[in-house]
Structure 1
Amino acid sequence: MQGTSFSGINWVAFGIIDPNTGKIVNDADKGLSASGVVLVDGDGQGATTANITGLESAGQKQYANNKAKRTTHGAQAPQVALTMLDMPFEYGQKMKGYVSDGKGGYVLKGGNKPNVAMLICSSDYWGNAMYDAFANGELIEAGHNHATNTNNEADYNSTYTYSGLAPILDNVFIDPTTGQQQPYKQFASADKGFDEAAMLAEVFGGYKDDGTFANHGKVTSSTFTPTNQDPQHPTQA
């Protein structure tokens, strides 16, 4: 069984993409890690919310002979409002395009922002992994909020806005019926033919899993229990 409702966030992974080749930057200094990809799930770290908008918009009706004859649709313009319980400082600075002065200071680099690929993994009602994929985009952090501690601690979870862009590689995120490329792709682990390695390579520009996803792979119904079980659709055994 496979559904279209979602439960929770299992993880969010990132990678910096070379703007010239479309390939993952698999260098710990120039990119995010030696393999190119990081999955933020350390002690006290992880994603709190990932709200995606702009996948579609209502069509614009066109009229003739006093009747609605057809509808036109604009291009996808995906955007993700991302809240992190904590983001490792180095990763955040690199993805936003801040550069170090070598003395502990970071400033926003002029020119183009880094090209960032992002993969969000959640679960459907039945416990199958569902993936929201972006092969290219830009990440910004618009501001910081600070407040005084009182008898309650004033915490701030970092908030980012990710804007999806067209993939750099020409052969990914393609509509097989028209050949048109899109900035967003959804994967479902329960779908026939699902290939996790192929998905990772497509989203992250040729990335080969080095074990980063070994303990964060597909969620199964044996380890996931729906919160409001529908008696007409019991959990799979």
Structure 2
Amino acid sequence: MSGGGSFSGINWVKFALLDDTGKLIADATKGLGTDGVYLADQDAEGATTANITGLEEKGVIDYANNKSKRVKHGAQTPVVALTMLDINFKYLQMMKGYVSDGKGGYVLSSKKKPHVAMIICSSDYSGNNIYDCFANGEVIEVAHNHGTNNASETDYNATLEYDVLTPIDDNIFVDDNGVQRAYKNYFASDAGFDEAAMMKEVFGGYVDTDAVSVTGVSLNETTISGKVGDTGKLTATVSPDNATNKNITFASSDATIVTVDSSGNYSLVKAGTATITATAQGGKTAACSVSVTAA
């Protein structure tokens, strides 16, 4: 695995409404569609910007004996500034907490705001997906800006603020010290990445009933023998052919002997033996034994 610290574009943004227990509201009337998850990607829909701040708070240094001795860090306070080229009107009202009068009118409810979960997907420069995940938050739209058309069309693109809250379910987004966090990110090239598990965690138990699980993965080579400097490519085949998620990650057991990139391209570096492993959704793996001799 390499790269992923920098990324490009916005592939998509998905939203869901959760109940007060953190469970997905999968209801065509009360939720964002029958399966509960709304992908803002219909005709002319989508996000143009998604700027996340507050992922970490700058530390405050404490001094003693004329030396810097300790750094105090505040809690994460993420906020997402979203600009949408367009977004489903009804779903937007529901996420903001506006209620319908049944005659086409909507007013902001005086009850508490809805629980909204969100995933923002982008890609690194090798094409691996990166996911910024929030399992609870509130959506506000503070203004509508109107302007007259003239020689140029004047548009208002929905400008939203998503204020991130700690997940309702105490068992998710937990760190290695047992502390729950407000934000979690996923990297598709990470060994063992499972998109279905991510969606289930972030979206309150969501299960894609149309998804086809991976049952196995194979490689075009199970053994490689070569000399230092040789290069080649491993190709992975996922079964069944109609599996929903065919993402593959490649990893070398010893990068000093053989390196491999996210596309399966390998280079033999020094004499010795190692193993290249391809991992598919759900932890399905296939391995290739590598033997390298001196040039």
Q: Same fold (TM over 0.5)?
A: yes
Q: For 1:45 and 1:3, how far apart are their aligned partners in 2? A: 26
Task: Say if 2:169 is the partner of 1:201.
Answer: no
Q: 1:98 to 1:14 in 2, by over 3 A?
A: same
Asked if structure 2 preserves the Cα contact closer than 8 Å seen for 1:27 and 1:36, the reply is yes
Q: Indicate the residue corresponding to 1:7 in structure 2.
A: 8
Q: Greater strand percent: which structure?
A: 2
What amino acid sits opposite 2:184 in the alignment? K
Q: Paired residues, what number?
A: 223
Q: Secondary structure at the match of 1:153?
A: coil
Note the residue ranges of structure 1 that are not aligned, 5 or more in a row: 221-233
| Greater RCO, 1 or 2 (C-alpha within 8 Å, sep 6+) | 1
Q: For 1:76 and 1:196, how far apart are their aligned partners in 2? A: 25
- Cα deviation code 1:149-198 (max 9, x no counterpart): 001111111100001100000110010x2010000000000001101110
Q: How does 1:1-237 map to 2 (within 5 A)?
A: 1-19=2-20, 21-175=21-175, 177-211=176-210, 236=263
- Cα RMSD of the aligned pairs, angstroms, is 2.3
Q: 1:59 to 1:196 in 2, by over 3 A?
A: same
Percent sequence identity is: 60
Deviation at 1:219, TM superposition (A): 8.2
Q: Secondary structure at the match of 1:69?
A: strand
Asked if structure 2 preserves the Cα contact closer than 8 Å seen for 1:129 and 1:219, the reply is no
Query: Normalising by the residue count of structure 2, what TM-score does the alignment of the two structures yield?
Result: 0.72
Q: 1:217 to 1:88 in 2, by over 3 A?
A: farther
Asked if structure 2 preserves the Cα contact closer than 8 Å seen for 1:14 and 1:38, the reply is yes
- Cα deviation code 1:85-114 (max 9, x no counterpart): 001100100000000111111000002100
What amino acid sits opposite 1:181 in the alignment? Q
Deviation at 1:126, TM superposition (A): 1.0
Q: 1:133 to 1:126 in 2, by over 3 A?
A: same
Q: For 1:197 and 1:100, how far apart are their aligned partners in 2? A: 33
What amino acid sits opposite 2:140 in the alignment? I
Asked if structure 2 preserves the Cα contact closer than 8 Å seen for 1:128 and 1:218, the reply is no
Q: 1:147 to 1:119 in 2, by over 3 A?
A: same
Q: Secondary structure at the match of 2:38?
A: strand
What amino acid sits opposite 2:131 in the alignment? Y
Query: Normalising by the residue count of structure 1, what TM-score does the alignment of the two structures yield?
Result: 0.89
Q: Secondary structure at the match of 1:133?
A: strand
Deviation at 1:217, TM superposition (A): 6.7
What amino acid sits opposite 2:160 in the alignment? Y
Q: 1:133 to 1:217 in 2, by over 3 A?
A: farther
Q: 1:144 to 1:210 in 2, by over 3 A?
A: farther
Q: Indicate the residue corresponding to 1:225 in structure 2.
A: none
Q: For 1:40 and 1:153, how far apart are their aligned partners in 2? A: 23
Q: Indicate the residue corresponding to 1:228 in structure 2.
A: none
Q: Secondary structure at the match of 1:94?
A: helix
Q: For 1:123 and 1:217, how far apart are their aligned partners in 2? A: 16
Q: Secondary structure at the match of 1:31?
A: coil
- Cα deviation code 1:56-109 (max 9, x no counterpart): 121000111111100000000000000000011001000000001111110000
Q: For 2:192 and 2:245, how far apart are their aligned partners in 1? A: 16
Note the residue ranges of structure 2 that are not aligned, 5 or more in a row: 212-241, 249-260, 266-295
Question: Could you list the runs of 4 or more consecutive aligned residues of structure 1 that deviate by over 3 angstroms after TM superposition?
Answer: 216-220, 234-237
Asked if structure 2 preserves the Cα contact closer than 8 Å seen for 1:197 and 1:208, the reply is yes
Deviation at 1:18, TM superposition (A): 0.4
Q: For 1:235 and 1:207, how far apart are their aligned partners in 2? A: 28
What amino acid sits opposite 1:145 in the alignment? N
Deviation at 1:210, TM superposition (A): 3.8
